[in-house]
Amino acid sequence: MQNDYHHGNLKNALIQAGLAILAQEGVHGLSLRKAAKRVGVSHAAPYAHFADKQALIAAIAARGYQDLYILIYATAQKHQNDPQSLIVETAWAYLQYAIQNTHQFKITFSGVVEKASDYPEFREISMNSFDLVVDGVRACQRAGILQPGDPEMLATSLWAGVHGFTLLLLENQIPSYLLARYSLRQLLLAHLAQLLPGLAHHLV
């Protein structure tokens, strides 16, 4: 079977190859042809599964997003009983993931996917993630750690806060003397304390 027609799993293989390229060479190194070559198909083969380059990138981003979701979900489960550490540890996990998978994270959240809302896979995982945050906020409200109020709005604030902090960090926009003076975890905790009033005593 020297001609591998009907690969059967090309779509997935291309996404996987894309993730590999992404990890090694960054967004800049991503190309349809390179992914195709890596999988061992002709350079036009991807067009059977992806409308264009953006579609492949979107798929890669969605896959990365799923990984992140799984991590966040597991972390949330582990701290189900303590809403405060639920928030803290999930945020910490989020940050860790972003640092360890910079390219993946950026491709997911930095507008490389030009019209992310066009891709249903992306929309879905995005909504799921948000719901997870909302759940966390509700738990905190029940525990009296967060003041009452529209949970979706609070969740947006919380996420925006953690997300913004993460992105500033990845873009090296956080002053180096802050990074020198405090640990990353301290900075994140301080940032969270700003968002969750009841958290202040967590700070060292």
Partner DNA sequence: CACATTAACTTGACAATGTAAAGTTTACCT
Partner DNA sequence: AGGTAAACTTTACATTGTCAAGTTAATGTG
The one of DNA, a second copy, none whose footprint includes residue 168, by CB under 5 to 8 A per kind, is a second copy
Q: Does 161 bind a second copy (CB under 8 A)?
A: yes
C-alpha dist (Å) from residue 91 to 9, 36, 42, 66, 170: 35, 36, 42, 16, 15
Stretch of 4-12, 33-41, 84-92, 155-163 contacting a second copy, by CB under 8 A? 155-163
The one of DNA, a second copy, none whose footprint includes residue 154, by CB under 5 to 8 A per kind, is a second copy
Q: Does 175 bind a second copy (CB under 8 A)?
A: yes
Stretch of 12-20, 66-74, 106-114, 136-144 contacting a second copy, by CB under 8 A? 106-114
Closer Cβ to DNA, 5 or 177, answer by number: 5
The one of DNA, a second copy, none whose footprint includes residue 45, by CB under 5 to 8 A per kind, is DNA
Closer Cβ to a second copy, 21 or 45, answer by number: 21
Tell me, rounded to whole angstroms, the distance of Cα 86 from its chain centroid: 17
The closest of 56, 59, 93, 91 to 190, measured between CA atoms, is 91
The one of DNA, a second copy, none whose footprint includes residue 111, by CB under 5 to 8 A per kind, is a second copy
The full DSSP string for 76-142 is HHHTTT-HHHHHHHHHHHHHHHHHHTHHHHHHHHSS-STTGGG-HHHHHHHHHHHHHHHHHHHHHHH
Q: Is 164 helix (H, G, I), strand (E, B) or coil?
A: helix
**Angstrom distance (rounded) from CA 118 to CA 123:** 8
Q: How many CB atoms lie within 10 A of CB 86?
A: 22
Closer Cβ to a second copy, 46 or 151, answer by number: 151
Helix (H) or strand (E) holding 14: helix 10-25
Residue 89 CB contacts under 8 Å (≥ 6 apart), including other chains? 75, 78, 79
Closer Cβ to a second copy, 27 or 41, answer by number: 27
Closer Cβ to DNA, 29 or 197, answer by number: 29
Q: Interface with a second copy by CB under 8 A: which residues?
A: 26-28, 106, 109-112, 114, 116-117, 126-127, 130, 150, 152-154, 156-165, 167-168, 170-175, 177-178, 182, 187, 190-191, 194-195, 197
